[in-house]
Amino acid sequence: MARLTRPLLLCGAALLAVACTRVVDGTALPGPGATRKVVHGVDVDTILLDQARMGAITGAGEHLTIIPSMDGTNPVDIESLAGSAPRECRFLFAETATFGPDIEEFHKTTFQDPPDGALISEGAAAYRDADTARHALGALAHEVGACAGDADGQQFVGDWNAGADSLHLGPGGCGRDYRVVSVAMVEVTSCGFPQSVSDIVMTNIASNVPG
């Protein structure tokens, strides 16, 4: 078995640990079964891709399944990992920092492909307007830059680049992609899949956003 790099292990640990950790401070978002709202035409529950579509895009087919308890409507912070990371890199393990304090609605689902040892997640946060969504992305890009500038931070973000409406991080065998579409910020995170898979998932989610 090939030796996994530390960033890949951390990325996988982050994806898996969210199943056991919930945010305990800040403003609570609606939980499962609560009334969900559409924000300026954007429904974060319906713009995400279903399991069959994700299985087709990844090529994993029926092997791709949702990890139990990792289909949630609340941002998750993994304090055990966030606390051990450089301060500038804490956002990697704290979704409240990744998506910011101005979320109106949120949904994230993580899938696993056990035969290939791969993971992929899709998430979306809706904000009150497009400017707020872009501000959240800009704040995240600032955090990424600060993390990359830390002596120990480069391994956490890898090669990264930011545009007006998009952001990409590529540590080890993992990738994180963000894009602002209308009032939503979409996230696709993967370990063990090629970047082209994340790109296709992102494009498909973006095409589901009205307008």
In 10 A of CB 13, how many CB atoms? 15
- What domain range includes position 87? 6-23+40-207
Indicate the helix (H) or strand (E) that contains 198. Answer: helix 195-207
Q: Which of 151, 143, 204, 201 is nearest to 169 (CA)?
A: 143
**156 closest CA partner among 95, 71, 205, 87:** 87
The reply to whether 34 falls in a domain is: no
Q: What is the pLDDT along the chain (211 residues), one digit of tens a residue?
A: 333 344 444 555 454 443 333 333 333 344 444 568 999 999 999 999 999 999 999 999 999 999 988 999 999 999 888 888 899 999 999 999 999 999 999 999 999 999 999 999 999 999 999 999 999 999 999 999 999 999 888 889 999 999 999 999 998 779 999 999 999 999 999 999 999 999 999 999 999 999 7
Tally helices (H) and strands (E) across the chain: 8, 7
In a domain, 32, yes or no: no
Residue 120: predicted pLDDT: 98
CB neighbours of 206 closer than 8 A, spacing ≥ 6? 179, 181, 186
Is 17 contained in some domain?
Answer: yes
Residue 192 domain flag = yes
CA terminus-to-terminus distance, the chain: 46
Collapsing DSSP to helix, strand or coil, 150 comes out as: coil
Beta bridge partners of 178: 167, 187
Q: Give the model's pLDDT for residue 124.
A: 99
Number of domains forming the structure of the chain: 1
The strand order across the sheet containing 65-72 reads 65-72, 105-113, 118-126, 184-191, 174-181, 166-170, 159-162
Positive/negative CA dihedral, 200, 53, 206, 202: negative
The sign one gets for the Cα dihedral 66, 71, 77, 78 is negative
Identity of the residue numbered 114: P
pLDDT at 151: 87
Q: What is the pLDDT of residue 6?
A: 45
162 inside domain: yes
Which amino acid appears at position 175 of this protein? G
In angstroms, how far is CA 76 from the centroid of its own chain? Answer: 11
pTM: 0.86
Is residue 29 included in any domain, yes or no? no
Residue 35 lies in a domain: no
Query: What is the model's pLDDT at position 152?
Result: 87
Q: Is 33 inside a domain boundary?
A: no
- Provide the CATH number for the domain around residue 177: 3.40.1000.70
The Cα 20–Cα 81 span in angstroms is 13
